[in-house]
Amino acid sequence: MNKPTVHDIAKEAGVSLATVDRVLNARPGVRDKTIAKVQGAVERLGYVRDTYAANLARQRLYQFAFVLPEGPSQFTDTLKAALKEAISSQIADRIALKVVTVPAHDPHAIVRSLRSLNAAALDGVALMVPETPQVRDAVARLKAEGVRIVALVSDLPNSQRDYFIGINSIAAGRTAGSLMGRFAHAQGEVLVVTNSMRSRDSLDRRLGFDQVISDDFPHLMALPSIESYDDAARMEQVVCDVIAARPGIVGVYSMGSGNMPLLNALRASGRLGELTVISHELTPATRQALQNGEIAAVIAQNVGHLVRSAMRVLRTLSDDLPIFEAQERIRIDIIIRENLPGSR
């Protein structure tokens, strides 16, 4: 028995091809009774629309936009690289991609960018921006115009996003905490650094980290967060000072970007060897530090999966098809020197 086609459905339901087409594509002009007949046939034969033939016929070109934070960040750089790579693969078949970068900390500029998108010519948007009331509104507007919205990396829990693709930040923080607790044997303090605690991701990571440290590893004490506000020099200076001032520090948890200045400061302190360093995101800097044994572990999300998943989900949403959740779940990767993936 071969895969049933629309013709088989028509025969089975005792209606014409045109009617089957009307039902399948939810076009008007069909009685409820007839709709039921067709749907019955669909279920009896186990018909599934051949998406590829459909897109071929429809001359479908999915128009997606990726909105990413601009500015120098190794993480977004790798993300963009993954995006570029995906474009030239089968994954991006029939997908026209537009990448827009926005200043991450300027909600108004973000909204301006979102508004400048031509919603009419757009099927979906993947958004990696902090959630603000303005963003929330912009998302609602896009949704209203029929654009599918996917939150990427950091969720927009209070917006009308259709899907979130990324890892749970609390769980990521807990993972970091657990590794820190097990790796750092000696009693002592843990330095926690981040870009900015104004971001929800950082807050959640810190929350998860603290939960685990205080519950399971009483020999450690997590210090208040140090924030760099994207200022590498400042970060380096502050970390240097704190490390010098507090000999009780046994571990460092880096929650966000800016691992390069952090590592520079730690190297300068001469105490890197005795510290257990755990950071987020696999970038050239953290990869190198892992290899050197300077960082004990990196908590990461596979950017390749991230962008492929985003494209698959946007496409699936655009087709009003159900999402295969198991395939889209992004794992919290723990990376140490020994399981560091190859060249990419």
Partner DNA sequence: TTTTTAATGAGGAACGTACCTCTTGTCCAT
Partner DNA sequence: ATGGACAAGAGGTACGTTCCTCATTAAAAA
Which residue in the set 37, 156, 308, 309 belongs to the binding site for a second copy (CB under 8 A)? 308
- For 298, the token pair is 């990196």
Residues near DNA (CB under 7 A) are: 2-3, 5-7, 14-19, 21-22, 24-25, 28-31, 33-34, 47, 49-50, 53-54, 56-59
Nearest residue (CB) to DNA, 60 versus 271 = 60
Alpha-carbon gap, residue 84 to 36, rounded angstroms? 45
Q: How many CA atoms lie within 13 A of 269 on its CB side?
A: 26
Nearest residue (CB) to a second copy, 221 versus 336 = 336
Q: Which does 202 bind (CB under 5 to 8 A by kind): a second copy, DNA, none?
A: none
Handedness of CA 30, 35, 38, 42 (dihedral sign): positive
Smallest separation, CB 15 to DNA (Å): 3
- For 29, the token pair is 């002009």
Identify whether the C-beta of residue 283 lies closer than 8 Å to the C-beta of residue 74.
yes
Q: Residue 94's closest CA among 318, 320, 326?
A: 318
Site size toward a second copy (CB under 8 A) is 43
Nearest residue (CB) to a second copy, 254 versus 276 = 276
Identify whether the C-beta of residue 286 lies closer than 8 Å to the C-beta of residue 334.
no
Quick check: 17 binds a second copy (CB under 8 A)?
Answer: no
Smallest separation, CB 318 to DNA (Å): 12
Smallest separation, CB 222 to a second copy (Å): 16
Nearest residue (CB) to DNA, 46 versus 342 = 46
Please, what's the b/e burial string for 15-37 (b: 16 or more CB within 10 A of its CB; e: otherwise)? Answer: beeebbebbbeeeeebeeebeeb
Q: What are phi and psi of 53, to 5 degrees?
A: -65, -40
Q: Which does 302 bind (CB under 5 to 8 A by kind): DNA, a second copy, none?
A: a second copy
Nearest residue (CB) to a second copy, 156 versus 300 = 300
Nearest residue (CB) to a second copy, 245 versus 326 = 326
Smallest separation, CB 331 to a second copy (Å): 6
What are the start-end ranges of the H helices in the chain? Answer: 6-13, 17-24, 32-45, 51-58, 74-87, 107-116, 133-144, 169-183, 200-216, 232-245, 259-269, 284-292, 303-318, 325-328
Quick check: 137 binds a second copy (CB under 8 A)?
Answer: no
Smallest separation, CB 207 to a second copy (Å): 13
Q: Which stretch, 69-77, 137-145, 227-235, 324-332, contacts a second copy (CB under 8 A)?
A: 324-332
> What is the bridge-based pairing of β-strands 220-227 and 188-194?
parallel
Which residue in the set 70, 84, 93, 246 belongs to the binding site for a second copy (CB under 8 A)? 93
Alpha-carbon gap, residue 206 to 209, rounded angstroms? 5
Query: In one letter, which amino acid is 268?
Result: A
Residues at the contact surface with a second copy, assessed by CB under 8 A: 50-53, 55-56, 85, 89-91, 93, 171-172, 174-175, 177-179, 182-183, 185, 208, 212, 296, 302, 304, 308, 324, 326-327, 329, 331-339, 341-342, 344
